[in-house]
Structure 1
Amino acid sequence: MIIYPTLELMDGKCVSLTRGRLDEPVLWHVDPVETARGFARAGAEWMHLTDMEGLKGGDANNALIREIIRAVGIPVQLGGGFRSREAVTRWIDAGAGRIVLGTMAVQDPDGVRELAKYHPDQIVVAVDVHQGRLMTHGWQSPSAISAEDFIAAFDGAPLAAILVTDIDADIEDSDGSLGVISGLASRTRHAVIARGTVRQADDVARLRYIPNIAGTLIGRALMARDVDLAEALALARPSPEPTAEFI
């Protein structure tokens, strides 16, 4: 299972959102570029970056994102307000390892499937679920389509992964049930990345035993030092299972 240490950027700073609200960010007094480099030094194979300015339609973080992509030394999975194929292609050309698409995938699934064919294994589709409903526009708007049907629409596309967020668990800061994520993971052949479920190291160990969970994002817990990245990476690595000895 891959651990994706996560940075959320707003106005050039590292933040976490309070209950998913863009107007109530928790500010972390750390240097974004050096923090990203620290992820790589700890042994991370990937990192995830969310551009909160992009969610609002802005581009104030663009230069910083490019600097992180150049400096970090590991692939960067980038999300945050993508609304056009041109923007996706531009960031892949700028060095992003993967692009995460949510609202665009709901509004233009044919276009996203075409993007996935043109950029195989570089497109991740985000599935954000709140009270059983698929949400769009940064968790603000419910969609008429169910999460299950939405996932099924991309069955044949060469996606890198499906990123599933149980918004109920994420915004309530509760342990939450893994039922939403495990249920959706069972409905797709794509690798599934979980978000919003890790608050302590034991949560990583639990995720390892859910079929088809290929990774998890860890953001706030790393910033708050509730989770040590090196420990999480060690827990996520495959370990040899005991085998019976035959005489």
Structure 2
Amino acid sequence: MSFNKNEMLIMPAVDIKNGKCVQLVQGEPGSEMVKIDNPEKVAKYWEDLGAKNIHVIDLSGTIDGETSFDIIKKILNEVSVPIQLGGGIRNLDYARQLLDLDIERLIIGTMGIQQPETITQLSDEYGPERIMISLDSKDNKVVIKGWQEKIDKSPSEIANDFKEHGAGSILFTNVDVEGLLGGFYTEPVEDLKKSVDLPIVYSGGITTIDDIKKLNESGVEGIVIGSALYTDKIDLTEALKYQKRI
């Protein structure tokens, strides 16, 4: 599903670790606040509630290097809405394997930042609309390798580099607020939105319907909601009312 300037896609997060759907606090292993069997059933649940797109992250691939390929296939078989997927994508062969499964958008993080030519290759082969670069930010600096290593540039400083390399969209996660259920900061989102002409999907700290309204007004093309859905702080049916641009 391509992005539409007249709406903001609202995507439930299905994060996979050790065969389960989990929600971590600040991405820290062992901090699971949510742990549910059968991630494919969870994805189907969100689709049944009206989600037009599901955001899947393979935390096992990111943290442990053990990809959840079989579960990813189960999710694709279970749901009919588009999937955007990231996590544990460390080489071109695996990226191609996932794209050939008919993933709508593949989210490339560490590999793309360290080897930007891989973004160009995948964009040339599959089309830029299917390649999303992940720019995760901590203290306004990009972090990689599961948020464990920081590089000395902000998302806004490098975003246009990835547009030139062929990325079709950006996933921007503010690690400072991720998983804390305390809201988000508008300034980093607005700075990135001003700095690059690419669709931006925002993730991190979305806790209330008011947060969703603010992000809609910011002009981002999509948002990812995780912990707030699983802890009943946000009702997806209510949230989906704000997909249309305010």
Taking structure 1 as the reference length, the TM-score comes to: 0.90
Contact preservation (8 Å) 2:12, 2:54: yes
Q: Mark the runs of 5 or more structure 1 residues left unpaired by the alignment.
A: 240-247
CA deviation string 1:155-180 (max 9, x = no partner): 23443310111111225442232111
1:233 partnered with 2:243 = no
Contact preservation (8 Å) 1:78, 1:100: yes
The separation in 2 between residues aligned to 1:199 and 1:149, in whole angstroms, is 28
- Cα 1:171–1:35 change in 2 (3 A) is closer
The separation in 1 between residues aligned to 2:199 and 2:214, in whole angstroms, is 17
The separation in 2 between residues aligned to 1:115 and 1:157, in whole angstroms, is 10
- Greater Cα radius of gyration, structure 1 or 2: 1
CA deviation string 1:179-231 (max 9, x = no partner): 111111111110000001311122111111113x0000011111111111111
CA deviation string 1:138-157 (max 9, x = no partner): 11100134322321212234
| Structure-2 residue corresponding to 1:41 | 48
1:192 partnered with 2:237 = no
1:87 partnered with 2:87 = no
Q: Detail structure 1 runs of 4+ shifted over 6 Å in the superposition.
A: none
After superposition, residues 1-247 of structure 1 pair within 5 angstroms as: 1-29=8-36, 31-59=38-66, 61-120=68-127, 121-211=129-219, 213-238=220-245
The separation in 2 between residues aligned to 1:101 and 1:182, in whole angstroms, is 22
The separation in 2 between residues aligned to 1:105 and 1:149, in whole angstroms, is 15
CA deviation string 1:63-84 (max 9, x = no partner): 1111001111111111112111
The one-letter amino acid of 2:113's match is V
Contact preservation (8 Å) 2:181, 2:206: no
The separation in 1 between residues aligned to 2:66 and 2:102, in whole angstroms, is 17
| Structure-2 residue corresponding to 1:244 | none
The one-letter amino acid of 2:224's match is L
Matched position secondary structure for 1:225: coil
Matched position secondary structure for 1:18: coil
Contact preservation (8 Å) 1:13, 1:27: no
Percent sequence identity is 26
